[in-house]
Structure 1
Amino acid sequence: MKEETNPKYMQLLATGRELFWKYGFKKVSIQEICERAGISKMTYYRFFENKVELAKAVFDKEASQGVVEVKNILKEKSLPSEKIKKIIMMKQNGTTGISKEFLKDFYTSSGDGLKEFIEEKTKKLWQEMLVDFKKAQKKGVFRKDMKPEFLFFMSQKGSEMITDERLLRLYKNPQDLLVEFSNFVAYGISPHK
């Protein structure tokens, strides 16, 4: 049986996501995940060697789903401005409930391989997305004079920005900062609806 079709595996992913988003990676124990999921530790270890492997699986699932959603939006028959708005709204919905602890743990963790996994996965997904962005650019979704690779560069800078405590203090929550960053990349400082 594939893990993605196993209800217990999926419950662990959902519970891991919920707890990691709220408390960060480091503050959540395997015991807490198992209790919240209603799954034994023995079952947990059938799927994941440790907490880092669960975190990687959660990130992988979320990132892969995001890519599929963006690709679907780019294929829609709608105005470019509507597509960009939908992508930003998708980003906003996907980041609801993210804590400062989550951002710090996931984007600055060291020694456990999580940060490197996220960087490598992100790089692979962006390489895949660049093909779709270039197709969308030819259809007028993005400016003709824009280099889609610039979006990848900006996303990396965004990862640095969302862990900056001084910047985070300007916003009510990390989600507001992520939305601000997405809006800035999409619209600059121009007013938009």
Structure 2
Amino acid sequence: MKENKKSKKYLEIMKTARELFWKHGFRRVTIQEICEKAGVSKMTFYKHFPNKIDLAKTVFTNEVTQGMEKFNRLMDEDIPTQEKIKKIILLKTEGTDNISREFMEDFYIDTESGLKDFVEEKTREAWNRLLKDYKRAQEKGIFRDDFKPEFLLHISFKMIEILKDEKLLGLYNTPQELILEFTKFVTYGISPYDTK
């Protein structure tokens, strides 16, 4: 199975599924649509994935893993704290690029498919690793020593509730804008900051 995961067709299915799920959510995207856009047959799809839910979970897990790897490389960089913070926000921007309301609803709110529980569990696992990284960063003097990383974990789960608020979502053109507003608010408050 490991060889299959590295095949060109497998990678094309993953890339296509991510693009379509981020843009249209899970429910609206069909296996047929993924296959057509990826240029693979349904037989090839089923060779790699038993169903669309398994594919969605694999895509999401892959995103979390890649995000953690990028974050760890960033934390190891020998650059000033302000530069690290800007790059953390850039990582968040890249991770939420082209994210749609449908994606947010299907992956974070809808309970029918089981994706919500899966996403919450994967997010919790990622945050537990991040807590350790933030604490190590505090020890190195990168972040304030009176900062409680657990606060970020708690409010990240509150963000899911915030994303259900249609009135608040309506203030922004895309869910990504709201997520980035939230991230910048937590990072900078309402103070001006250098965006360069």
Would you call these one fold, judging by a TM-score over 0.5?
yes
Tell me which residue corresponds to 1:76.
77
Q: Is the Cα–Cα contact under 8 Å of residues 98 and 174 in structure 1 kept in the other structure? A: yes
Using the alignment, how far apart are the partners of 1:180 and 1:147 within structure 2? 21
- Between the aligned partners of 2:106 and 2:192, the Cα distance in structure 1 is 34
Any idea what the Cα deviations from partners look like across 1:33-77, whole Å, max 9, x if unmatched? 111101111111111111111110110011111111111111111
Confirm or deny: 8 A CA contact 1:74 1:83 kept in the other structure.
Answer: yes
| Match status 1:167 vs 2:168 | yes
Q: Distance in 2 between matches of 1:138 and 1:55?
A: 37
Distance in 2 between residues matched to 1:118 and 1:22, nearest whole Å: 17
Q: Is contact 1:60–1:121 with CA below 8 Å preserved after alignment?
A: yes
What displacement does 1:142 show? 1.6
CA displacement at 1:150 relative to structure 2: 1.1
* Correspondences of 1:67-106 after superposition (within 5 Å): 67-106=68-107
Q: How many residues align?
A: 193
RMSD: 1.2
Please report the TM-score for the alignment, with normalisation by the length of structure 2: 0.94
1:104-126 CA distance string (max 9 Å, x none): 11101213221111111111111
* Consecutive aligned runs of 4 or more in structure 1 exceeding 6 Å deviation: none
Q: C-alpha distance in 1, partners of 2:12/2:28?
A: 19
**Counterpart residue number, 1:55:** 56
| Preserved contact between residue 108 and residue 116 of structure 2 (Cα < 8 Å) | yes
Determine the structure 1 residue equivalent to 2:141.
140
Superposed displacement of residue 24, structure 1: 0.9
* 2:102 maps to amino acid: E
CA distance in structure 1 between the partners assigned to 2:159 and 2:50 by the alignment = 31
Structure 1 partner of 2:31: 30
Asked if structure 2 preserves the Cα contact closer than 8 Å seen for 1:97 and 1:175, the reply is yes
**Once the two structures are aligned, what percentage of the paired residues are identical?**
52
The aligned residue for residue 7 of structure 1 is: 8
CA distance in 2: counterparts of 1:35 and 1:153, whole angstroms: 41
Matched with 1:116 is 117
The amino acid that maps onto 1:181 is: F
Gap runs ≥5 in structure 1: none
